[in-house]
Amino acid sequence: MVGEPVNVNEFQELAREALPKMYYDFYAGGAEDQYTLKENVEAFQRIMIRPRILVDVSRIDMSTTVLGYKISAPILIAPTAMHKLAHPEGEVTTARAAAACKTIMVLSFTSSCTVEEVASSCNAVRFFQLYVYKQREIAATLVQRAERNGYKALVVTVDCPRFGRREADIKNKMVAPRLKNLEGLLSIEADSDNGSNIEAYANKTMDASLCWKDIEWLKSITNLPILIKGVLTGEDAIKAAEVGVAGIMVSNHGARQLDYTDATINVLEEVVHAVRGRVPVFLDGGVRRGTDIFKALALGAQAVLIGRPVIFGLAAKGENGVRQVIQMLKDELEITMALSGCPSVKDITRRHVRTERERLHAMI
């Protein structure tokens, strides 16, 4: 038994105790060997901080802006699926916690609560995550609903032409509940005798032909800013900037799609250098500590997104658990900034960290 958690990792243990094994495995698991799942977290641990001393840090300001919206700290809530598997009220509870913490939640396309239910739950800036299905009119309808309900941006996930092979879900024969946002729009039944029905469903619905020109199509059907999530190379970052996206999310889908991709923190700087300040860059994957957030900001991220920690907080303690997770990360970031000589997020520079490559190079 874990007592009162003192860090985000301890919430994972509480969630493991609280959730049925099938649902815990669904949230916690990654693709195939889960190499990238481990690496997303461990890569942060190989980056060292270079603190500066004798700086006035009597006041620490963690606030920043995302697409012009002010948030209390550079921590957003990543889109994660089906929160009702973790808590009876699902995404409505997560949304209230995000609003209380004065940050932005990205509502998942595969949420258990509708776009409308989350919008009416509380007053806050929210973004909507979009998958593009083979039936393009589904995307168009959901974009219109998001616009109508006051969502401020679209986050298009682009790393899912096929569904990653998540072996725990296959073994558990994971069955997904119906997606509330798609009621009346989609009538595909995806039964699978030999594994996860989520995988079978996704492979029937996902549009494997989605390509760069379709970002132009999306821009033509909405006035909302479009961010793309799933960029892992400088080459794709340049293309994203060229097609006019409003932001780039460096993400490997929480290591749930293609195993043996690099940890997101390891490719962040390549993406940042490629876009040369033309668009803001965000990072998700493996963030478990305030020091992780500091390192991501030093390497050029405008903010990070947290996925699993939010789910673990929700499963363990509901709205209060999500609030606690965000507050823990904020408290840790605040002390990291103070001890590193950075009174505000704009004071965090590349010179504040040393990567593993730099350390090895220094030894040669």
CA 225 to chain centre: 17
User: What CATH number does residue 351 fall under?
Assistant: 3.20.20.70
Mean pLDDT of 46-71: 98
276, part of any domain: yes
3, part of any domain: no
Residues near 14 by beta carbon (within 8 Å), at least 6 away in sequence: 2, 5, 312, 315, 316, 317, 321
232, part of any domain: yes
Higher-scoring residue by pLDDT: 169, 136: 136
2, part of any domain: no
Q: Is 83 a catalytic residue?
A: no
According to the model, what pLDDT value does residue 321 have? Answer: 98
- Check whether 140 has a pLDDT greater than 80: yes
69, part of any domain: yes
239, part of any domain: yes
- Check whether 291 has a pLDDT greater than 90: yes
- Check whether 324 has a pLDDT greater than 60: yes
> What are the pLDDT digits (tens) for 162-213?
887 887 888 878 887 778 888 888 765 555 555 666 666 666 777 888 999 9
Mean pLDDT across the chain:
93
- Check whether 300 has a pLDDT greater than 90: yes
Q: Which of 83, 87, 253, 352 is catalytic?
A: 253
329, part of any domain: yes
- For residue 253, the enclosing domain spans 8-362
> What are the pLDDT digits (tens) for 59-74?
999 999 999 999 999 9
Q: Is 79 annotated as a binding residue?
A: yes
The percent helix, strand, coil of the chain (3-state, each to 5) is 45, 15, 40
Residues near 362 by beta carbon (within 8 Å), at least 6 away in sequence: none
Q: Is 290 annotated as a binding residue?
A: no
Which residue type occupies 335?
A: I
Q: Is 285 annotated as a binding residue?
A: yes
Provide the whole-model pTM.
Answer: 0.95
1, part of any domain: no
- Please report, for residues 69, 76, 114, 150, 179, the alpha-carbon distance to residue 146 in angstroms, rounded to integers and kept in the order given: 17, 18, 10, 6, 16
Domain count along the chain: 1
> What are the pLDDT digits (tens) for 210-220?
999 999 999 99
